[in-house]
Structure 1
């Protein structure tokens, strides 16, 4: 805040000022220089993002997160959890201040490199001003003491209450409703979870167990991932759960998490996982993580979710009946396939979502063909018939419609599922099954534990096939109407009804 000296009202004061002027000249010159150089208050804190056209304020520029260490203390699923989130990151710019994605909780303190930092919530961000600026290229640590509120999450993601506890459903833009961080799949990191809960409950999280200790009426469970993970794939399950274990192919650790009272009834389904993993490995190569399992929650979500190493399913999907066996198994394979496509190889931007969902739908459909007699070609023909309608409603597979300013958008649309799988079918028709299978294996191997774009996929298709595929794939990925299907000149896309 600028200021000016009081007016000179008496000549004696003027004489006194002249006598003092040499003593104060340096201070006056410094103040004048500060005004000339614009040393005013910094701009007001604002929410910001990394430029994702689908979620413009998601993610944060200026740093890359290397690791999260998150501690939760759970009492009941209708009470906020006390939490401490520790973040280890590296600055990519000089940081006078930086943003964390976080909402739906209260922050009590923030430290940066061990020193108290100022923080200002704004929108769904928290703007942090460290005591000392972080230099570009420097590693730095952030410790946030906060709450994590499971109430009011219906339809918004984050914590999902179950009949006996909580699970997480953070996709696509809801991890920051649970913990502060850089909530975008382009910034993957290692995770450690330390969860304290009443000792009669069981806690399971992503990765592998790394310790358990009981003190009084509470037990603290620790889990660590061995591979980097996107925030949207984080999972912590708390409840009266059974955790049956079994061995998968080549000794892969498999552990399921199911309601304890339903363990025997659900064994019919969870016992199928080893065979399903083996089936996927024959298609694309070794399972990409340290463990896998099926988390079956007594909750109503309306979806299943590929949280890393522990896919989330609704209990009613398996217990209410009405679905044929081939369908339920293909849904399980859909989430399993995501461990390669979406989890190990994550989208750099949310416009690349079709790479996740198109591939998961592809392997779901192949499994249904091989194990359930549901022909892949029949499903693709129906998808082709509906493709122009899907594009009109949701946009092309790799350019889904962005939200209107100030609004969020639902990105999980038919055009990224069956529409994405249809792109893969067209590419296989063009380059042949052998080259296509080689492309799939090369894709998950080359971008293992990383992120990739649609352009990366097009480039790899060109490399593997030995023929430029960009002109062919451009209209399939970005066109408003569906191109002709190679090998099926009789397929027609129906126009969108008026």
Structure 2
């Protein structure tokens, strides 16, 4: 999630699970093959039942039919192309909050059942290891709020949008709902005439049939399920050109287009600013989806970041503050979207970097000094660690409180780690690290260990001793170059 927010190309194998996760997941899968249907998971510490073992998704083809009411279930078809990574008697998909009509595997009808939040599919024939397979699920996608969680479909005043971070894409469509398994997406949305539908990626055709329109979009880069976006509403699409002829399209409620345009015209310069810092923009398009909804956050959905319209029309927010939030979500396109977390405990790499560039932008454009912000974060860091855990080992969220992992210590607390690192290795090495990180892991997944190893390589020395207390310690280490900085003590727990 973004602010207030949730915010050499790898080979195919680099997008799969880590060896440790894969080994544990496969062992669970093999046991489950001869046991009753059960929910599985890839072993994520924060979301134990998120994702599924035994296959690697190559692509999703999603079709949604919207009837004109954002309180009625959408008819939907999800087609998944995947490689099996082990022999499977059953295939688990993450899916809940919808009704399944039918399932086919390789075009052949398959048995299915729902267990907790898994759709467990039994194909007619066992799937062998390394086998290419296509799974098609006909289902509904329910936009009514799920009382047990936030996100999924977000109802706007004139339609719908998506906010799937961290673990709710599977309330919208069946999937392998973990960022370690990225895939290409084709998204088709059928609406009545008068509605506009926009999704991740670039337009790939419009079909008219009677009083409906079907718009198709395709991504050119793999995407995690939590970053999928579909906007349906009485909207206007505004187009402009960014650096290197990058197509930019913004989606706004038609009645507010004139008031929002001054904000939208800032995007090309913001992209250029980020490119100066970390290198070329990593995707085929970008834009802002300004939803007429109250979410309490903004979200870095890939190529089309989700914003509340009210953020841009609230006079109490100074211009520099709104600008910096725009840059926060933009920075996520590099950090979190193009380079996705290997496990959710790596969230600090997403939000720490987005907060870092948000703060640097505010410093350069509005004089809000980075050092002052980091000093304030240092003062609060011990309290944040006590409440939410250290940056790279956040405390497990309570059931139904998935936004509980989006605590201050993965935002300013993690940016503080990056500030300490720059103090430790110097600005030139730090800047090389940032550029190398997004270039080496573009379109892939990477985790904390990968970042430590790359930083050590660029610095020319082992940085484990530096990173361990900063990322995993209960207490905040001394800040290099600022021996006078002192953390405030956490509050003493009251006796009960």
Alignment of 1:161-310 (within 5 A): 161-310=155-304
Q: Please give the residue correspondences for 1:85-96 in structure 2 after superposition, counting only pairs within 5 Å.
A: 85-96=78-89
1:77-476 paired onto structure 2 within 5 Å: 77-153=70-146, 155-403=149-397, 410-476=404-470
Q: Give 4+ residue runs of structure 1 displaced > 6 Å after superposition.
A: 404-407
Question: TM-score w.r.t. structure 2 length?
Answer: 0.91
Structure of greater Rg: 1
Q: 1:82 to 1:405 in 2, by over 3 A?
A: closer
Unaligned runs of 5+ in 1: 1-40
Post-superposition shift, 1:408? 5.5
1:62 paired residue number: 54
RCO (CA 8 Å, sep 6+): is it higher in 1 or 2? 2
CA distance in 2 between counterparts of 1:404 and 1:315 reads 30
Aligned length in residues: 458
Alignment-derived partner of residue 52 in structure 1: 44
Q: 2: distance between equivalents of 1:335 and 1:403?
A: 23
CA deviations 1:404-433 (Å, max 9, x no partner) are 689867110100001110000000000000
CA distance 1:327–1:460, change in 2 (3 Å): same
Distance 1:408 1:343, change over 3 A: closer
C-alpha deviation, 1:402, in angstroms:
2.0
Residue 291 of structure 1 aligns to a residue whose secondary structure is coil
Give, in angstroms, the shift of residue 141 of structure 1: 0.4
Deviates more, 1:425-434 or 1:407-416: 407-416
Aligned in 2, Cα 1:72/1:122: closer, same or farther, shift over 3 Å? same
Question: Deviation at 1:189?
Answer: 0.1
CA contact (8 A) 2:397 2:405 kept: no
Aligned-pair Cα RMSD in Å: 1.2
Contact 1:252 1:290 in 2 (8 A): yes
User: Given that residues 113 and 142 in structure 1 are in contact (C-alpha distance below 8 angstroms), is that contact kept between their aligned partners in structure 2?
Assistant: yes
How far did 1:153 drift? 3.9
Deviation string for 1:444-495 (max 9, x for gaps)? 0000000001000000000111111111111000000000000000000001
Distance in 1 of aligned mates of 2:384 and 2:127? 47
Contact 1:305–1:335 (CA under 8 A) maintained in structure 2: yes
Q: Structure 1 408/340 Cα, relative in aligned 2: closer, same or farther at 3 Å? A: closer
How far apart, in 1, do the equivalents of 2:316 and 2:366 lie? 16
Q: Output the CA distance in 1 between the equivalents of 2:234 and 2:401.
A: 38
Say which SS state the counterpart of residue 87 (structure 2) adopts. Answer: coil
Answer whether contact 1:306 1:339 (CA < 8 A) is retained.
Answer: yes
TM-score (norm 1): 0.91
Q: Given that residues 199 and 214 in structure 1 are in contact (C-alpha distance below 8 angstroms), is that contact kept between their aligned partners in structure 2?
A: no
Q: Give the Cα separation in 1 of the matches to 2:241 and 2:397.
A: 44
SS in 2 for 1:476: helix
Match of 1:492 in 2: 486
Q: Which runs of 5+ in 2 are unaligned?
A: 1-32
CA distances 1:232-285 after superposition (whole Å, capped 9, x unpaired): 000000001111100000100100000001001000100000000000000000
- Range 337-346 or range 320-329, more displaced: 320-329
Match of 1:33 in 2: none
Shift of 1:156: 2.0
